[in-house]
Amino acid sequence: MGAQATIDGCQYANWSETIFRQMREGAVDAVVATVSYHEDFRQTVANIIAWNRNIERYPDLLMRGRTFGDVDAARASGRTAVFLGLQNPLPIGDDIGLVEILHDLGIRFMQLSYNNQSLLAAGCYEAEDSGITRMGREVIAEMNRVGLVIDMSHSAERSTLEAIELSRRPVAITHANPARWHPAARNKSDAVLKALAARGGIIGLSLYPHHLKGGSHCTLDAFTGMVADLVSYIGLAHVGIGSDLCQDQPDSVIAWMRNGRWTKGATDLGIGKAVLPPQPAWFRDNRDFGTLRDGLLARGFSMEDAAAILGGNWYSFFAQSFGHVPPPSSSSAANTSQ
């Protein structure tokens, strides 16, 4: 059943009943919703509470997603399962104990860094990248143990390669595209994509205009051409969708995503003003997953392969990623001075 599911690996919409209904119109069975960028632990809990309220208020449209089986349950009942993710490790601060706490609260993905250096890894907009830190090594082992997926979407190259190497479980890049198609700082090198796939990981391909060749003017044909190229060199099983839809967000939120509260100035990412660019006409919002499917079929993908890309691969990844797995030996968590 899950092989037919439609799953989006990353969205950060200004959530509303309108959007929840559009998810049903697009038959989106599951979505990974970002619950924090620059929030600390307490603020993150407040954002989880806000999701609990949404789910309580719209029981016919939504349910919480915690296990891969929840995708089936959502699909069977005509709802969307909302899985929760963090784009920044700030909610755990310097406290490794919060990894398990956040997993208990339903968080299933956590980026090791967001654009900047974190306590764990470098971000993709840092001038330098010294890889995974002392604390980062500990946190990777703990995330592996409890079943919190390591997401390297906004991390720097070396940090990403090291995370893939250090992690005992497959890593995700929930929302990005190949840099060889569109060389943005946020898109990923061949080396990263190949290493990710070699260790069983998955990339959610992004529909955010800054990640697209041609930006808002990118054509569906150009996008599916990129998908076909990517599948040819990392394999079908490692490719999904992570639309990075930021639907209905005001420009102030886009500026906040970039600036957080770490600077008193305005952050220039080299990608223009902090305004939400228009979506490509063929992927306005959740209603257009069918258009994406049509595009993949037109590109020559089989129905089965298109379904794998649109959700089946995420389903398989969810199935192996969210459960508790004991560490390989009792001494594995010991850390050493360097």
Name the residues that contact a copy of itself, by CB under 8 A: 38, 40, 90, 93-97, 116-119, 122, 125-131, 133-136, 138, 142, 260-270, 333-338
Residue 136 or 311 having the CB closest to a copy of itself: 136
Residue 67 or 267 having the CB closest to a copy of itself: 267
Residue 40 or 248 having the CB closest to a copy of itself: 40
Based on the number of CB atoms within 10 Å of its own CB, is 4 exposed (0-12), middle (13-18) or buried (19 or more)? middle
d(CA 285, CA 273): 22
Smallest distance, a copy of itself to C-beta of residue 137, A: 9
Smallest distance, a copy of itself to C-beta of residue 129, A: 7
Smallest distance, a copy of itself to C-beta of residue 86, A: 14
Exposure class string for 37-47: b at 16+ Cβ within 10 A, else e: bbbebeebbeb
Based on the number of CB atoms within 10 Å of its own CB, is 138 exposed (0-12), middle (13-18) or buried (19 or more)? middle
Smallest distance, a copy of itself to C-beta of residue 135, A: 4
d(CA 125, CA 186): 8
Return the SS3 of 123.
strand
Residue 70 or 142 having the CB closest to a copy of itself: 142
Residue 159 or 247 having the CB closest to a copy of itself: 159
Smallest distance, a copy of itself to C-beta of residue 296, A: 34
d(CA 5, CA 29): 6
Q: Who's near 265: CB < 8 A, 6+ residues apart?
A: 259
